[in-house]
Amino acid sequence: MTAPLALCRAVARHARVTLRLNFRSPQAIAYGYVMPVLFLFAFGGLFRAGVPPLTAQMGQLLTITLLGSAAIGLPTTLVAERERGVWRRYRLLPVPPAVFLAGALVARVVILAGAVLLQLVLAWAVFGTPLPQQPGVLLAALAFTSFTFMGLGLVIAALADGVPAVQALGQCVFLPMIMLGGVGVPLAVLPDWAQRFAGFMPGRYAVAALQTGIDARPGPLGFGFALLALGVIGTAATTVGTLLFRWDDARHTGRRTRFGVAAALAAWLVVGTMAAFTGRLRPLLPPGYAWQEITAAQIASITYENLPGDSDLVTRLAPPLARPFVSGRLDAIASRLTIWAPAQTDNAGEAIRHLVCLATLADLAQDPQEGEIARLVYEHVRQTYPSDTLRRGLAWIILRPDDGTVVTSAPSFSLHREIDGNAVRNRAPLYAQKFLARELGTIREP
pLDDT category of residue 51 using cuts at 50, 70 and 90: low
Cis peptide upstream of residue 287 (ω within 30 degrees of 0): no
pLDDT of res. 252: 63
**Percent of the chain surpassing pLDDT 90:** 41
The whole-number pLDDT of residue 226 equals: 93
In one letter, which amino acid is 174? F
CB 147 within 8 A of CB 230: yes
3-state secondary structure the chain: CCHHHHHHHHHHHHHHHHHHHHHCCHHHHHHHHHHHHHHHHHHHHHHCCCCCCCHHHHHHHHHHHHHHHHHHHHHHHHHHHHHCCHHHHHHHCCCCHHHHHHHHHHHHHHHHHHHHHHHHHHHHHHHCCCCCCCHHHHHHHHHHHHHHHHHHHHHHHHHCCCHHHHHHHHHHHHHHHHHHCCCCCCHHHCCHHHHHHHCCCHHHHHHHHHHHHHHCCCCCCCHHHHHHHHHHHHHHHHHHHHHCCCCCCCCCCCHHHHHHHHHHHHHHHHHHHHHHHCCCCCCCCCCCCHHHHCCHHHHHCCCCCCCCCCCCCCCCCCCCCCCCCCCHHHHHHHHHHCCCHHHCCCCHHHHHHHHHHHHHHHHHCCCCCHHHHHHHHHHHHHHHCCHHHHHHHHHHHHHCCCCCCCCCCEHHHCECCCCCHHHHHHHHHHHHHHHHHHHHCCCCCC
Residue 397's pLDDT band (cuts 50, 70, 90):
very high
Question: How sure is the predictor about 29, in pLDDT bands with cuts at 50, 70 and 90?
Answer: confident
Q: Binning pLDDT at 50, 70 and 90, where does residue 377 land? A: very high
Is the predicted pLDDT of residue 70 greater than 70, yes or no? yes
Residue-wise pLDDT for 223-234, tens only, equals: 899 999 999 999
pLDDT band of residue 200 (cuts 50, 70, 90) is very high
For residues 84-93, give the mean pLDDT: 80
Residue 63 clears pLDDT 90, i.e. is over it = yes
Nearest Cα to 347, choosing from 400, 288, 283? 288
Average pLDDT over residues 68-97: 83
Mean pLDDT of 402-423: 89
**Given pLDDT bands bounded at 50, 70 and 90, which one contains residue 1?**
very low
Give mean pLDDT, residues 158-181: 87
Q: Answer yes or no: is pLDDT of 329 > 80.
A: yes
Span 89-109, average pLDDT: 81
pLDDT of residue 365: 92
pLDDT at 25 over 80: no
| Average pLDDT of the chain, as a whole number | 87
The residue-averaged pLDDT of 253-280 equals 87
Q: Which of 3-17, 138-152, 194-208, 346-360 has the lowest mean pLDDT?
A: 3-17
Distance CA 166, CA 158 (A): 10
pTM > 0.75: yes or no: no
